[in-house]
Amino acid sequence: YTSTLSYLDIYRIRKDIKFIHSIKRKLRKTDSIIRVTDKSGIFHIGSTVDYDEKIERYQAKTNAYIQLSSDPLMDTFYKVVSLLNNLRTKQQITQWQHTKMMPDKNKIQLAYLYFIPKPHKTGTPLRPIVSGMNAPTTKISRMLDRLIRPLFDQYVKQTTIIDGVHLIRQLDKYVSLGLLKSTTHLCTFDITDLYTILPQEESIAILKQFLIRFNQTHVRGMSINAIESLARIVLTENVFIYGNKYYRQVKGGAMGSPFTLTLANIFMWHWEQKLVEKQKASNELYGRSCVSFLDVQINNQDGKIITAVYHKEASEPYIVPFKSDHPRHIFENIITTALLRAIRYSSTLQTFNHEIRALKLMLLYNRLNISMLTNDRPYNFGDDWRYNERTVPSPSTINDKICESIIRRDAILPGVDRKIELLLYLGIPIIIVVFWLFQIIHWICSKYCWNEDEQQTENLQQDSKDLKEVIIHKDEPEDLSVVINPKMKLLATK
């Protein structure tokens, strides 16, 4: 089923196409590059020279990639096929696992490497992403992640923080036990370039220890030895192309491979055991998560926990614009989700109002309706209202004057857009209707009203022609009226 586009859609499509072509021309002229940023999902424009320098520094710092002399695709394919057939012959994997992991020779493609910027960090470093949707080892990586990730979530859930709500609940339990003091320090840490610094063989050995510790000799019919062999080929046969050159990753795993995240989590689980045991002995809370990467901010003020929504310093207030062609419920879900997060994370009413003010600014900036956030409209979220009075947050950094100025700007600018849209919706169809109405009136008049006038005009032209001939010729006719107009013959004879 297809339908014609409206005039507004056609206008917007043409405008967007011109805008895209303009961006391409400017990127070529200025030697720039545009990429979607990490986490925030907005566009980042940078210099191509700066990107190349950062990539060279990253490769020199990690030493994770080595260059190959030829295309390794088919060699990797035959290694994967040989390993899968060997494991199936030894009954170390089931038939459905063998079929699920076997790559298709007609569909395999060599993975490629690209980098995305991280503007939320100092200096805007780059994150390497290996895109290998049709790589020979991709199906094996998906199978291992499908089998092992549920085990990790089951056995390590006591020291794993899922999201901000889970973190706040853990803190509430810690406070309810009377363990929080004014001298309690909240510490977070982050590991730089974790995926590309993992020792491959050591990570595989830790994976095997993890399975043995929790008595997992077989995972859904797959033996530990088979898991070890499959994990090794996923790590060692991570080959890709970048800049028309072939590379192999010799340290860590591919960022973009499903199994790499699970393997990194297990690696960190192994090295944090001593710290977890020490924290438990002193009744302290430990969660293997970095607060700065979550969307909740936690402070300890005089033995009281303050929680609020956390916004990164480099975060931009960009969401789906109101003019986007997304379904209408998407915009409602954006507002509802933001409100629920503000309610769950805010420890006081002032903290909640601070987040609502920030949310209003974000919605106004993207031309969305803020009627859900007005004071005269109640919030109806049922049991999701969870904020409690624990302490007073820091003063708000966003005042009402800023909100008022943006509201005024939003009240002026959208009016111009609405006039243009109204002109496109109504003006163009009216012009077309008037044009065709004029054509119909012209056709009717030419056929029924203007026919006699045209005949009279033709007669006058013929009479003028005959009169000229009479004047020019020497021999005059006996009856001049007959020559001028045959119809006047009767009048002449009378």
What angle in degrees, to the nearest 10, is found between the helix axes of 349-365 and 328-345?
160
Is a pLDDT exceeding 80 seen at residue 322?
Answer: no
Please, which residues have CB within 8 angstroms of residue 235's CB and are 6 or more apart in sequence?
A: 200, 203, 204, 249, 252, 253, 263
pTM for the model: 0.64
**Residue 30 — pLDDT band, cuts 50, 70, 90?**
confident
Is a pLDDT exceeding 50 seen at residue 174?
Answer: yes
Q: Per mean pLDDT, which range of 7-21, 247-261, 306-320, 434-448 is the poorest?
A: 306-320
pLDDT at 467: 54
φ, ψ dihedrals at 130, nearest 5°: -100, 110
Q: Which of 253, 266, 250, 171 is nearest to 212 (CA)?
A: 266
Cα separation, 223 vs 233, whole angstroms: 16
Tokens of 12: 């917007």
Cα separation, 415 vs 420, whole angstroms: 9
pLDDT at 246: 95
Contact at 8 Å (CB) between 202 and 313? no
pLDDT at 466: 58
Residue with tokens 């509802």: 336
Q: What is the mean pLDDT of residues 142-171?
A: 84
Contact at 8 Å (CB) between 180 and 303? yes
* Better-predicted residue by pLDDT, 3 or 87: 87
Q: How many CA atoms lie within 13 A of 364 on its CB side?
A: 20
Q: What is the mean pLDDT of residues 72-87?
A: 96
Q: Which of 208, 207, 226 is nearest to 93 (CA)?
A: 226
pLDDT at 456: 58
Is a pLDDT exceeding 60 seen at residue 105?
Answer: yes
pLDDT at 248: 95
Residue with tokens 């004014």: 182
Q: Using CB atoms within 10 A of its CB, is residue 322 exposed (0-12), middle (13-18) or buried (19+)?
A: middle
* Better-predicted residue by pLDDT, 481 or 164: 164
Is a pLDDT exceeding 80 seen at residue 472?
Answer: no
**Residue 425 — pLDDT band, cuts 50, 70, 90?**
low
What helix, strand, coil percent values describe the chain, rounded to 5? 55, 10, 35
Is a pLDDT exceeding 60 seen at residue 414?
Answer: no
Is a pLDDT exceeding 60 seen at residue 331?
Answer: yes
Is a pLDDT exceeding 90 seen at residue 192?
Answer: no
Residue 346 has a CB neighbour count (10 Å cut-off) of 24
pLDDT at 111: 94
Cα separation, 362 vs 317, whole angstroms: 5
Please, which residues have CB within 8 angstroms of residue 91's CB and are 6 or more apart in sequence?
A: none
Q: What is the mean pLDDT of residues 328-343?
A: 83
pLDDT at 179: 80
- CA dihedral sign, ordered 475, 476, 479, 481: positive
Cα separation, 211 vs 224, whole angstroms: 7
Which residues is 306 bridged to in the sheet? 299
Q: What is the mean pLDDT of residues 353-373?
A: 77
Q: What is the mean pLDDT of residues 113-117?
A: 91
Cα separation, 101 vs 213, whole angstroms: 26
Is a pLDDT exceeding 70 seen at residue 293?
Answer: no
Cα separation, 340 vs 346, whole angstroms: 10
pLDDT at 249: 94
Residue 116 has a CB neighbour count (10 Å cut-off) of 15
Cα separation, 186 vs 387, whole angstroms: 21
Residue 136 has a CB neighbour count (10 Å cut-off) of 28
Cα separation, 278 vs 286, whole angstroms: 10
Give percent above pLDDT 90 in the chain.
26
**From residue 381, how far is each of 337, 375, 378, 448 by CA, in Å?**
11, 15, 9, 71
Q: Using CB atoms within 10 A of its CB, is residue 407 exposed (0-12), middle (13-18) or buried (19+)?
A: middle
**Residue 44 — pLDDT band, cuts 50, 70, 90?**
confident
**Residue 191 — pLDDT band, cuts 50, 70, 90?**
confident
Please, which residues have CB within 8 angstroms of residue 403's CB and are 6 or more apart in sequence?
A: 357, 360, 361, 364
Is a pLDDT exceeding 80 seen at residue 149?
Answer: yes
**CA distance from start to end of the chain:** 78
Contact at 8 Å (CB) between 414 and 365? no
Find the radius of gyration of the CA atoms of the chain: 38
| pLDDT, tens digit, 9 for 90 and up, residues 384-412 | 434 333 333 333 334 444 444 444 444 43
Cα separation, 466 vs 414, whole angstroms: 71
Q: Per mean pLDDT, which range of 91-105, 225-239, 303-317, 459-473 is the poorest?
A: 459-473
